[in-house]
């Protein structure tokens, strides 16, 4: 195993002034809690012992696909892979094809998971059993080079083929510092996180894996999904509690009627949060609903409370530069500026922005303009439509126009009923044809809609 650099006894950023290295854990002592597992606290000392135990047993390779589902197992595996000098490969989904494509892009890699898989990916290794807590000190605290690539994340594929994006240890430290600062301003220095999102997703990593590595934060080791499991997960950790979720998961939670213990805040991302849903959640659970804005390319760089206003507030050190095809983002975690397809207008001397849609969502037919996001909102506003999406097809028709199509989940309704309702809500040029009724939309674990799956549904390939 590659020998890491070490700190002495307390893992603190100021312990080693070298700009070329950053600690695996920063702030606090070996006794602080970094995770809750089966209702019991896991100390920083035990966590580092677990990381070393796993790192010593990993095979030599440039990278590993981290498939661990239990959040503490993922956290240990993530740090062990990084400590070994390898990169965590984070596929856009756990589907075998998605995993195979990622592994094909990285020859010589292996897969690591905490569950028996059948069929298993090539070169699959089970996470070594973690030793029982001993209460002993974990020894010296390791440092990792700031420029070391510790993860390669993939976009969801909602606009095409998933794209890979490299993350260094220094980049993750910078972006996590922004998230930690934002949450501390809202809930205080110390809090516990329960998350419904998969740790492999960039939003999941930022908010339920990396936070304990930089601050006095502990995460629930499990990954609850159903409303009753979310309630149990929140009950298993002490206050103050932060629920990390998505609009899809939050709607299921609110509509279930399940009772939750007191929350300090709810965090959401991966899709726009409907204001009515945010208001219902805040009223029901007595805590602010906070949205964060970012991408796999940039990580999180802005936040807002939807019930308080439309403007997004930028994190410290972030600058946006609108341009015709999107927006250039400068942020502490970015070595070079990144251009996103999102269109924005700046406010408050550049410290805030209003989101105006995405360049790829803009439509122009016969001189008239619309956006796919707005058309989708109009579809979802029809009473009886539970879920839906409007998209533009790839191939033009005989007139050279790329048609508008839609998928809708609307039990008891017909396509004709929905089209009649849409005629009163949008220009006839943008009426979706075809419009297909389906039982469910092919949302992934974070609620996003891979474009390939949508096109297959429209073509009748279930």
State the Cα–Cα distance between residues 316 and 257, nearest whole angstrom: 38
Is the predicted pLDDT of residue 15 greater than 90, yes or no? no
Write out pLDDT tens, residues 251-297.
889 999 999 999 999 999 988 888 889 999 999 999 999 999 999 99
Write out pLDDT tens, residues 164-219.
899 999 999 999 999 999 999 999 999 999 999 989 889 999 999 999 999 999 99
Least confident range from 9-18, 20-29, 130-139: namely 9-18
The arrangement of strands across the sheet holding 402-409 comes to 387-396, 402-409, 435-437
State the Cα–Cα distance between residues 144 and 167, nearest whole angstrom: 13
Tokens of 416: 């004709």
Helices (H), 263-382: 275-285, 372-380
Rounded to 5°, the CA angle 141-142-148 comes to 155
The pLDDT assigned to 13 comes to 33
Average pLDDT over residues 95-121: 91
Is-contact 116 37, C-beta < 8 A?
A: no
Can you tell me whether residue 6 is helix, strand or coil?
A: strand
The pLDDT assigned to 367 comes to 62
CA 214 to chain centre: 18
Burial of 204 (0-12, 13-18, 19+ CB in 10 A): buried
The pLDDT assigned to 5 comes to 38
Is-contact 432 388, C-beta < 8 A?
A: no
Query: Averaging pLDDT over each range in 1-15, 96-110, 438-452, which range is the top one?
Result: 96-110
Tokens of 258: 């399940």
The number of residues making up the chain comes to: 462
Helices (H), 84-226: 96-105, 169-187, 202-208, 211-214
Backbone angles phi, psi at 302, to 5 degrees: -155, 165
Domains delineated in the chain:
5-309 (3.40.50.12780), 366-458 (3.30.300.30)
């Amino acid at each position: 195993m590659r020998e890491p650099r070490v700190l002495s006894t307390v893992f603190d950023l100021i312990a080693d002034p070298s700009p070329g290295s950053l600690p695996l854990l920063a702030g606090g002592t070996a006794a602080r809690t970094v995770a809750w597992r089966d209702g019991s606290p896991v100390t920083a000392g035990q966590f580092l012992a677990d990381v070393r135990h796993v790192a010593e047993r990993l095979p030599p390779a440039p990278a590993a696909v981290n498939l661990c589902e239990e959040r503490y197992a993922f956290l240990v595996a993530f740090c062990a892979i990084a400590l070994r000098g390898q990169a965590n490969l984070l596929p856009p989904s756990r589907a075998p094809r998605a995993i195979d494509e990622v592994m094909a892009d990285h020859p010589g890699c292996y897969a690591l998971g905490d569950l028996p898989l059948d069929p298993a990916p090539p070169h699959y290794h089970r996470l070594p059993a973690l030793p029982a807590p001993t209460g002993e000190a974990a020894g010296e605290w390791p440092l990792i080079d700031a420029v070391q690539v510790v993860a390669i994340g993939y976009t969801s594929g909602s606009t095409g083929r998933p794209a890979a994006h490299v993350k260094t240890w220094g980049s993750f430290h910078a972006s996590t510092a922004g998230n930690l600062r934002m949450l501390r301003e809202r809930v205080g220095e110390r809090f516990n996180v329960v998350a419904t999102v998969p740790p492999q997703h960039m939003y999941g990593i930022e908010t339920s894996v990396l936070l304990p590595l930089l601050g006095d934060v502990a995460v629930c080791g499990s990954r609850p999904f159903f409303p009753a499991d979310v309630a149990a997960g929140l009950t298993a950790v002490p206050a103050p509690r932060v629920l990390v979720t998505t609009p899809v998961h939050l709607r299921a939670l609110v509509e279930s009627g399940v009772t939750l213990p007191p929350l300090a805040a709810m965090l959401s991302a991966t899709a726009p949060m409907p204001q009515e849903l945010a208001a219902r959640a805040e009223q029901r659970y007595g805590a602010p609903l906070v949205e964060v804005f970012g991408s796999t390319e940039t990580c999180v760089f802005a936040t807002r409370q939807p019930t308080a206003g439309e403007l997004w507030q930028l994190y410290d050190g972030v600058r946006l530069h609108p341009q015709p095809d999107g927006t250039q983002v400068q942020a502490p975690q970015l070595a070079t500026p990144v251009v996103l397809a999102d269109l924005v207008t700046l406010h408050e001397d550049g410290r805030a922005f209003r989101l105006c849609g995405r360049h790829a969502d803009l439509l122009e037919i016969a001189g008239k303009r619309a956006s796919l996001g707005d058309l989708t909102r109009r579809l979802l506003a029809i009473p009886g439509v539970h879920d839906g999406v409007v998209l533009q097809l790839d191939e033009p028709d005989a007139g050279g126009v790329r048609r508008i199509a839609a998928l809708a989940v609307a039990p008891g309704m017909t396509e004709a009923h929905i089209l009649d309702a849409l005629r009163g809500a949008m220009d006839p040029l943008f009426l979706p044809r075809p419009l297909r009724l389906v039982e469910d939309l092919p949302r992934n674990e974070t609620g996003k809609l891979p474009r390939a799956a949508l096109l297959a549904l429209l073509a009748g390939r279930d």
